[in-house]
Structure 1
Amino acid sequence: MTDTSIQREPSQSQPLIDAHHHLWALDGQVAYPWLEDSPVENFFLGDYAAIRQPFQIADLKRLVPEGFELVGSVHCEAEASRPQAEKETRWITEQAAIHGLPSAHVGWAAFGTEACAAQLDAQCDSALFRGVRAKPVTAATPQTRQTVTGVADSLQDPRWCEGLTLLKARDLSWDLRVPAWHLEEAATTLQDYPGLRVILNHSGLPWDRTPEGLAQWRAGMRALSENPNVAVKLSELGTPWHAWDASANHELLCEVLDIFGPRRCLFASNFPVSGLKVSYGDWLSLVTGAIAQTASHDQRQIAFDQVLHDNAIHWYRLPIAAITHDARPTQHARQETP
């Protein structure tokens, strides 16, 4: 049996950085139509009534199990009303000033529009702002993928992709979120943007768990892994077409770690959304179990520290000291945080 224990002194907790979570107050300061108005149809995890309530830093901290210390976090835009993207960034910055977390914010900007550059510049006023998550148009199923190839706002749309140039010019990163059947397309698009820092969301979203679907996911993950500027978040393995399967999801996490290596994988919870399918503690246990299975015994603690802590510092340029030290820079030039 694989030893999944983290080798620290009994009195020490494992430092943890959650590289992808959401916050919302639902108090009128920032509007979230998908939470406050009518529910969206076909939400990928089904009925999400349980998360249509405030979720703030204190709620996140309460979820972290004994043996771990949440020392940093990255907030990802939470589908706020699109005209309020800058307001969401300001609100998150205020929350960090009050609570000490999050450590960084991934916002949103309207790729493919004249407003994009100004939206990015306005959000750069926040010391927490590190990049954006802007989603291209994607197909609902692998069988319909070709129907969106080359359309407006797709990965083949030059005007939409100008947003990637704007990010690179500002030393901002792109959080890439597409289902698995678009991963190879994303890898092709990124060949035109060398040096752009990209963090793939949600383990590449392997929603289609058929043999053909998983083969497509693996091909896309390998294509993206060939780009040294792409990392991946070990997060969100819920799927709209299959029941939650902890054993299968453990194996998928092991595959991600094998493909990208422990230096380019980040622990992330996607809470509170992932809480619809799994508890925070159980998700963390799945990730640590996968790390333990894929790392050699003498490298296991280094891999734990990298995936659970250090990699988020590197990829999101956090002003937090790393545990393990290697040749990569671990802190961003902008050190001022609230």
Structure 2
Amino acid sequence: MDEPGAVTLVDAHHHLWDLGANYYPWLSDQPEAHFFMGDYTPLKRNYLPADYRRDARRHNVLATVHCEAEWDRADQVGETRWLTGVHEREGMPTAIVAHAWFHTPEGEEVLARQAAFPLVRGIRSKPVTSLSPDRMTPGAPGTMQDPRWLEGFARLEKHSLSWDLRVPYWHLYEAAEVARAFPRTPIVLNHTGFPWDRSPQGLAAWQKAMEAIAREPNVHLKVSEFGLKDRPWDFESNRQVVLRAIGIFGIERCMFASNFPVAGLRIDYDTLVRSVARMLEGFSERERRRFFVDNAAAFYRLAGVSTNERQP
């Protein structure tokens, strides 16, 4: 029986990894110098379905979407193949957001191979970005203005795949141009657009960028990952971000995502879910169901998701 206050949800973004069997450079031997939450040493351990189930046990998880986890880029399809085996053994994840570079010579072939896996619903391919707004290099190889990148991006529609967009907020204006140029490609912005600067000026800049991309009707939002570098998880600060973000996009285009185990650097799964549910107390029951279940199920085409079923 569910505990009091348990939330029924689709988790639209989580990760799994087996460091003994597979190679993730950032978790093994190539530390990410600019990781957005600072020291991530606690993540350098296996995180498998049993670990996810333990973290999520207090809630009614109907389905999960696995987002690519920086697997060895020399074997981009390997992660999808491994996850398909995990699904066959464990019943999760329900769907996969795989990886394929858009601008590389082998990009077209890799994308086609990824699309052939039944669980694949979308691609996350991170464009080249800058560490700050004053260091941007528009048009450079791998950026969202690179003609080769755009040529590769255009293939998503051919394969009926969505794009998971993950960039700092100062790149959202460029992303809005991409969304406008490809209106039939569903796009979902990861991690609430990364509102890292919580000063009044920083939040104003983030909000302006979010408003720009939200004008494109094919763009949706994952309300997830409010963790900040070297700062604890703060309910009130994050509540303001969540309510602003939902106000910009409309709750009909927003979906819950845990980003576990990464979010676990700052908060446990149960507290995260209950906190976000508290933030949404002013919304109707129907609106909360759309946010926690229906929007993600529709975006990722999760057939048969029902509040009467419990997975994984």
**TM-score (norm: length of structure 1):** 0.86
Q: Aligned partners of 1:214, 1:111: CA distance in 2, in Å?
A: 31
Aligned residues: 306
Q: Pick which of 208-217 and 44-53 moved more.
A: 208-217
Change (3 A) 1:53 1:272: same
Q: Pick which of 97-106 and 204-213 moved more.
A: 204-213
Q: Aligned partners of 1:111, 1:257: CA distance in 2, in Å?
A: 30
Change (3 A) 1:252 1:13: closer
> Could you list the per-position Cα deviations for residues 69-128 of structure 1 after superposition, in whole angstroms to 9, with x for gaps in the alignment?
111000000000101210100111111111111110001101112211111111122111
Hey, what does 1:334 align to over in structure 2? none
Hey, what does 1:156 align to over in structure 2? 145
What one-letter code is carried by the residue in structure 2 that aligns with 1:111?
Answer: F
Q: Do structure 1's residue 108 and structure 2's residue 99 form an aligned pair?
A: yes
> Could you list the per-position Cα deviations for residues 22-43 of structure 1 after superposition, in whole angstroms to 9, with x for gaps in the alignment?
0001122x21011111422232
Q: Aligned partners of 2:141, 2:3: CA distance in 1, in Å?
A: 55
Q: Aligned partners of 2:271, 2:5: CA distance in 1, in Å?
A: 21
Q: Which stretches in structure 2 are left out of the alignment for 5+ residues? A: 308-312
Give me the identity figure in percent.
41
Aligned match for 1:123, one of 114, 123, 137: 114
What one-letter code is carried by the residue in structure 2 that aligns with 1:50?
Answer: P
Hey, what does 2:131 align to over in structure 1? 140
Which structure has more relative contact order (CA 8 Å, sep 6+)? It is 2
Q: Do structure 1's residue 57 and structure 2's residue 49 form an aligned pair?
A: yes
Q: Aligned partners of 1:75, 1:11: CA distance in 2, in Å?
A: 27
> Could you list the per-position Cα deviations for residues 39-87 of structure 1 after superposition, in whole angstroms to 9, with x for gaps in the alignment?
2223211111111000011111111253x21110000000001012101
What one-letter code is carried by the residue in structure 2 that aligns with 1:26?
Answer: L
Hey, what does 1:4 align to over in structure 2? none
Hey, what does 1:21 align to over in structure 2? 14
SS at match of 1:292: coil
Checking the alignment, whether the CA contact within 8 Å between 2:62 and 2:305 is kept in structure 1 is no
Change (3 A) 1:45 1:95: same
Checking the alignment, whether the CA contact within 8 Å between 1:313 and 1:322 is kept in structure 2 is no
Give the aligned CA root-mean-square deviation in angstroms: 1.9
SS at match of 2:139: coil
Q: Do structure 1's residue 213 and structure 2's residue 202 form an aligned pair?
A: yes
Checking the alignment, whether the CA contact within 8 Å between 2:43 and 2:262 is kept in structure 1 is yes
Q: Aligned partners of 2:225, 2:207: CA distance in 1, in Å?
A: 16
Checking the alignment, whether the CA contact within 8 Å between 1:266 and 1:312 is kept in structure 2 is yes
Q: Aligned partners of 2:171, 2:210: CA distance in 1, in Å?
A: 10
Q: Aligned partners of 1:162, 1:207: CA distance in 2, in Å?
A: 31
What one-letter code is carried by the residue in structure 2 that aligns with 1:84?
Answer: D
Change (3 A) 1:53 1:301: same
Structure-to-structure mapping, 1:1-338, within 5 angstroms: 14-28=7-21, 30-66=22-58, 68-144=59-135, 147-240=136-229, 243-293=232-282, 295=283, 300-321=284-305
Checking the alignment, whether the CA contact within 8 Å between 1:187 and 1:220 is kept in structure 2 is no
SS at match of 2:280: helix
Change (3 A) 1:26 1:285: same
SS at match of 1:131: strand
Checking the alignment, whether the CA contact within 8 Å between 2:179 and 2:219 is kept in structure 1 is no
Q: Aligned partners of 2:298, 2:40: CA distance in 1, in Å?
A: 33
Q: Aligned partners of 1:143, 1:88: CA distance in 2, in Å?
A: 35
